Amino acid sequence: MKKQRCRREKLYNTWTDMKLRAKIQDTYVCDKWKSSYQSFKEWAGMNGYTKRQVSIVRKDKSKGFDPTNCKFIEKKKAWSL
């Protein structure tokens, strides 16, 4: 039970961080994700989210955070980007 809680918290932190990063980077978060952690969580579950992959990146930096433009990467790789 504790492992699920930790995993959820990391993903929740990724979601809140994504919204903050979008604001700082002057880009957008799709409305569905912006207003619903549950929608983001469902997308994450269907798109390869694992416990180690706690960082989300945009595939195309000229576009915002949305389901077609984002992917998860391992935390250690995130620091080298």
Highest mean pLDDT of the ranges 2-11, 17-26, 42-51? 17-26
pLDDT digits (tens, 9 = 90+) for 26-58: 999 999 999 999 999 999 999 878 777 668 899
* Closest to 17 in 3D by CA, of 62, 59, 72, 77: 72
- Prediction pTM value: 0.76
